[in-house]
């Protein structure tokens, strides 16, 4: 996740960049295949949270042939690590005997070593793991999430939304890139800055962009177009953590998102959308940041507030038009309730039941 370092924070963006695609052409491309892979993530990590939400919205937890209530095997199963980890790896301490029930491993690190015996880099989530070999296929969250929304389309549920419409991709990509540099990674540039000047520079960039987004969302319900896209998914995972973690822990404290009316309404709108807010676990989020980042919070004391009930208050964003879900077939609809095996204690899914 990052550590305090001298000067500005520089995120390592070198990943296992294989892809799982509908029509692989050899090399480092793998075929989309139901049941072959397992998505390993954590409710705590925003980069993994992107993949968790996308899997849920497009229905890779139920697939195109699901029976009533979403029964049947998931085309892409999901493993969830606990909120804390040591320097070696994320662990499956939420499961019985701390063993992932499908992969049979205690540490995600084992799956990286099954792929590369001398894997030298950090063990990150999300990771797509091939079930039979127990080897990581890719941990590149950038291409992975886009591919889940597009390349995995043959395994999407009936009525799945199009989160990356072809006619909006250029605009979505531009929005995603700018928000990544200034907001998604911007909060980390504040939190892990190693000197005052670097922190103040990151702080200024972050809040300048939040001010732009506040203005942008004054007259439109979503970031791009009239429906939820990947641009919204990617911004949501940062905004939902902002007041609970980044405001205090990362010193992003000019103001809270709750003090920015348009962003706050937008955040509550997304949070209350099925398939988005029900993937949130605020306890996991706070446990992770406040306990794992010992260089920032050496006492390990975890903040109590804010009250998550605020996420459920009316947002009045419907007045701006648009609807949450869209696809070209005209049958887009919200996902059903999450599968029981995908729910962990503290998930907001219980509040949506």
Q: Which two tokens stand for residue 261?
A: 């009316």
90 is in an annotated binding site: yes
Which listed residue (9, 188, 199, 222) is catalytic? 188
| φ, ψ for residue 311, nearest 5 deg | -65, -20
> Residue 129's beta-bridge partner residues?
38, 136
- What sign does the dihedral 325-262-175-121 (CA atoms) show? negative
DSSP symbols for 4-39: --SSS--------B-EEESS--STTEEE--TTTEEE
Nearest CA to 275 out of 156, 190, 187, 172 is that of 156
- What sign does the dihedral 271-203-218-243 (CA atoms) show? positive
CA 306, distance to chain mean position in Å, is 21
Catalytic residue status for 188: yes
Half-sphere exposure (CA, 13 Å, Cβ side) for 245?
27
Which listed residue (9, 15, 45, 289) is catalytic? 45
Binding-site residues, in ranges, read 90
Binding-site residues for glutathione, in ranges, read 90
User: Which residues does the annotation mark as catalytic?
Assistant: 45, 188
């Amino acid at each position: 996740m990052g550590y305090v370092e001298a000067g500005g924070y520089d995120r390592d963006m070198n990943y296992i960049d294989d892809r799982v695609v509908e029509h692989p052409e050899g090399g480092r491309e793998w075929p989309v295949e139901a049941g072959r892979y397992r998505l390993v993530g954590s409710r705590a990590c925003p980069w993994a949270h992107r993949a968790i939400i996308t899997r849920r919205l497009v229905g890779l937890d139920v697939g195109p042939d699901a029976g009533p209530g979403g029964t049947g095997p998931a085309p892409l199963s999901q493993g969830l690590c606990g909120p804390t980890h040591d320097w070696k790896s994320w662990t499956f301490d939420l499961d019985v005997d701390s063993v992932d029930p499908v992969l049979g491993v205690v540490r995600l690190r084992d799956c990286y070593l099954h792929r590369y015996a001398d894997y030298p880099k950090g063990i990150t989530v999300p990771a797509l793991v091939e079930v039979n070999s127990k080897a990581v296929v890719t941990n590149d969250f950038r291409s992975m999430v886009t591919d889940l929304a597009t390349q995995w389309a043959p395994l999407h549920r009936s009525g799945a939304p199009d989160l990356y419409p072809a006619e909006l991709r250029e605009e979505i990509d531009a929005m995603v890139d700018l928000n990544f540099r200034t907001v998604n990674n911007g909060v980390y540039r504040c939190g892990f800055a190693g000197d005052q000047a670097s922190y103040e520079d990151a702080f200024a960039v972050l809040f300048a962009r939040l001010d732009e987004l506040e203005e942008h969302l004054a007259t439109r319900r979503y970031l791009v177009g009239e429906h939820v896209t990947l641009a919204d998914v990617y911004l949501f995972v940062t905004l939902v953590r902002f007041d609970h973690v980044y405001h205090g822990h990362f010193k992003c404290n000019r103001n809270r998102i709750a003090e920015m009316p348009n962003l706050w309404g937008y955040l509550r709108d997304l949070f209350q959308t099925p398939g988005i807010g029900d993937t949130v676990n605020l306890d996991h989020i706070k446990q992770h940041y406040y306990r794992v980042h010992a260089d920032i919070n050496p006492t390990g004391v975890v903040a109590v507030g804010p009250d998550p009930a605020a996420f459920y208050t009316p947002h009045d964003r419907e007045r701006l038009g648009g609807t949450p879900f869209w696809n070209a077939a005209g049958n887009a609809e919200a996902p059903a309730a999450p599968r029981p095996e995908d729910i962990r204690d503290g998930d907001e899914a219980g509040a949506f039941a």
